[in-house]
Amino acid sequence: MINQRRTLLSKRLTSPRGLILGLLAAILVITGLRVESMLSDRETATALQRIEDVFMLIDRRYVEETDPNEIAQYAIDGMLGELDPHSVFFDAETLKGENESFDASFEGIGISFELLPGEAGSDTLAVLSVIPGGPSEEVGLQSGDRILVVDGKSTIGFDEEDVRRHLKGPRGSEVAISVQRPGVDAMLEFDIVRDKIPLYTLDAAYMMEDNTGYIRLNRFARTTYNEFMASLRTLKAQGMERLVLDLRGNRGGYMQMAVRIAGEFLNEGELVVSQDGHTEDSKETFYATGNGLWEEGPVMVLVDGASASASEIVAGALQDHDRGLVVGQRTFGKGLVQKQYVLRDGSALRLTVARYFTPSGRLIQTDYESGDRVDYYASKAALKKTDGTQTARELLSDVPDSLRFETASGRVVIAGGGIIPDYIVPADSLSPLMRTVLGRNLENQFIRSWVDLYGASIKERWGENQDAFINGYQVEGAMLDAFRSFAADKNVLIGSGLTVDDPSESFSDEDLAADREMLSTLLKGRLATRLYDRSAWYPVWRHVDHSLVESQKLWSSAGELADLYSAAGSR
């Protein structure tokens, strides 16, 4: 009965009529902001009073007992559902995780972890990698270590929240752990003093070839500009003459970080982005300042359907100024600016306060109907499917004049629905064999066991020389045969020579031959990640990274843009 009542209550509060009750959330939001000073007219004050009256009557007089926090949450959801898909509310606990991501740091022992499946939910906590420079590295924790006890409490059966609750903690506090290390009989004991742990927003920076540098950013947080600049200086010192800036999968973050990074490619005073909102303080323009570190030389920006917000600001600015060649798939299409308001109970409202426009005047926001997130994301999926069958030129020819804009040199670009790359590279489709391997996580499980057996000897040979490992380590036939045996134990038959009574999936020798390079690269990349860190994955995987491989055929076009930009700046 109670569950039925809650279901009905949920439907009422999230329906259009529920907007009336939804406004009750304003009590929480507005009182947290001391809104008395913000009430602009009598109508607003009267509406607020009506909301408070209704809320109090429900709380005190409704036929059944109600939970005011539950009603408030339903109310907030109903109210935001009438706005846009990117205005969101965070409770206090969720906000902590969000802030860690944007602040690019947390306080803990400095590991990434995984839970190894056990029987009846008795998962085992294992170290996936040790964050360089953190307290766990200092005491000697290693990838593959099984953490069995934390402060006298068994970790068997921990879920992810249990792990965070026991391993994270205030800087300077101490945690005692007991570790089982593969190949070592005795249990290892460590006392670790928690510290502030950086969350790097730069996944990788390396020289792909003698003159080609590569930088990949996973988001735009407080530290991103400094990380980017340090890597850019290093690559320039190593002889970089052209740069790949990889923003694939980068969902954005702080606008200011995007503005500063875009400014490193542009001449001083050139417009990066502008924004326009309802209030005067939301109307702003942002320009490149000072002397950029990479104002000359070809640059290629890689994007995909998950490149959003701040990523689109960078890509849009470089595209509109003809400064960089944008390659990949249509971006997400988020042209809205949010401002976060923290409430008195520690929760927060991240509210859309403005729209932003690229230098040519484009609004790249995808159309939406109020806050309907289902249709919103479905429309994006439909666009992505269409893009896979059309070239950039064909897509440009299909749009009305009202959505057509021009770059600094007169190239046509369009508004709405994300940024269309100068060159579209359709996402690579995986073979059935690779879909099975990745879908069942077979390669990760196998490499985990491989590191348990041979990790020490591999590290003894290659040491901490990550570049030597990447350039010299080869996945040989013995490793592939071991992987095939491992897959057979998981009921997946790959090639001949093995027997599986009733395989759930079976692949021929021809399938294995066709995917041998990709499978070998996948295993080597997973191994490199466990032996070193996440950055080791990218220089390994680049040889089979479809979009990256295709982009390297376009340097002549990127070079022409660089020359065009340089000539325009010198006039």
Question: CATH number for the domain including 327?
Answer: 3.90.226.10
Both 294 and 409 in one domain: the answer is yes
Sign for the CA dihedral angle at 70, 73, 79, 81 comes to negative
- Please name the residues in contact with 292: beta carbons below 8 A apart, sequence gap of 6 or more: 263, 264, 265, 266, 267, 268
Both 206 and 193 in one domain: the answer is no
Read off the CATH number of the domain in which 133 is found: 2.30.42.10
Distance, in Å, from the CA atom of 131 to the CA atom of 284, rounded to the nearest integer, reads 39
Q: Which H or E run contains 174?
A: strand 174-180
3-state secondary structure of 183: coil
Do the domain assignments include residue 88?
no
Q: Is the pLDDT of residue 369 over 90?
A: no
**Predicted confidence band at 555 (pLDDT cuts at 50, 70, 90)?**
very high
Most confident of 143-147, 404-408, 460-464, 481-485: 481-485
Both 418 and 469 in one domain: the answer is no
Beta carbons of 414 and 420 less than 8 angstroms apart:
yes
Both 517 and 383 in one domain: the answer is no
* Count of structural domains within the chain: 4
In this structure, what are the phi and psi dihedrals at residue 358, rounded to the nearest 5 degrees?
Answer: -75, 170
- Please name the residues in contact with 514: beta carbons below 8 A apart, sequence gap of 6 or more: 431, 433
Average pLDDT, the chain: 86
Q: At what angle do helices 25-32 and 68-80 cross, to 10 degrees?
A: 90
Tokens of 295: 């104002």
Beta carbons of 55 and 363 less than 8 angstroms apart:
no
pLDDT of residue 570: 57
Both 60 and 123 in one domain: the answer is no
Percent of the chain whose pLDDT exceeds 70: 87
Both 264 and 380 in one domain: the answer is yes
Per-residue pLDDT of 224-267, as tens digits, reads 999 999 999 999 999 999 999 999 999 999 999 999 999 999 99
pLDDT of residue 381: 60
Residue type, 253: G
Both 125 and 157 in one domain: the answer is yes
Beta carbons of 258 and 311 less than 8 angstroms apart:
yes
pLDDT of residue 558: 97
Beta carbons of 378 and 89 less than 8 angstroms apart:
no
Residue type, 400: P
Do the domain assignments include residue 90?
no
Distance, in Å, from the CA atom of 520 to the CA atom of 570, rounded to the nearest integer, reads 49
Per-residue pLDDT of 58-101, as tens digits, reads 888 989 998 888 887 887 888 788 888 888 898 887 887 777 76
Per-residue pLDDT, averaged over 303-319, amounts to 95
Do the domain assignments include residue 556?
no
Do the domain assignments include residue 187?
yes
**Predicted confidence band at 32 (pLDDT cuts at 50, 70, 90)?**
very low
Distance, in Å, from the CA atom of 364 to the CA atom of 357, rounded to the nearest integer, reads 7
Catalytically annotated residues: 309, 320, 334
Mode of pairing for the β-strands spanning 412-414 and 111-116: unpaired
Do the domain assignments include residue 554?
no
- The structure tokens 């057979």 sit at 488
Q: Is 172 left (phi over 0), alpha (psi -120 to 50) or beta?
A: left
Q: Does 10 or 344 have the greater pLDDT score?
A: 344
Both 65 and 112 in one domain: the answer is no
Do the domain assignments include residue 148?
yes
Residue ending a domain, choose from 67, 82, 97: 82
Per-residue pLDDT, averaged over 175-194, amounts to 90
Distance, in Å, from the CA atom of 429 to the CA atom of 425, rounded to the nearest integer, reads 12
Tokens of 483: 């992987």
What is the extent of the structural domain holding 188? 105-198
Per-residue pLDDT, averaged over 406-422, amounts to 91
Comparing 160-164, 191-195, 288-292, 389-393, the range with the smallest average pLDDT is: 389-393
Torsion of CA 44, 50, 55, 58, to 10 degrees: -160
Both 149 and 253 in one domain: the answer is no
Both 154 and 273 in one domain: the answer is no
Distance, in Å, from the CA atom of 282 to the CA atom of 231, rounded to the nearest integer, reads 33
Q: Is the pLDDT of residue 186 over 80?
A: yes
Do the domain assignments include residue 377?
yes
Q: Where are the beta strands (DSSP E) in 269-415?
A: 271-277, 284-287, 299-303, 325-328, 336-342, 348-357, 404-406, 412-414
| HSE-up of residue 509 (Cα within 13 Å, Cβ side) | 3
pLDDT of residue 384: 58
Instruction: Pick the closest to residue 424 from 302, 260, 510 (CA basis).
Output: 302
**Predicted confidence band at 134 (pLDDT cuts at 50, 70, 90)?**
confident
Distance, in Å, from the CA atom of 553 to the CA atom of 555, rounded to the nearest integer, reads 6
Beta carbons of 347 and 73 less than 8 angstroms apart:
no
Measured CA to CA in angstroms, residue 476 lies from 368, 471, 487, 516, 521 at distances of 51, 14, 17, 11, 11
**Predicted confidence band at 329 (pLDDT cuts at 50, 70, 90)?**
very high
Residue ending a domain, choose from 42, 67, 82: 82
The 10 Å Cβ neighbour count of residue 16 is 11
Sign for the CA dihedral angle at 13, 16, 17, 20 comes to positive
Instruction: Pick the closest to residue 497 from 481, 479, 517 (CA basis).
Output: 481
Beta carbons of 240 and 212 less than 8 angstroms apart:
yes
Do the domain assignments include residue 89?
no
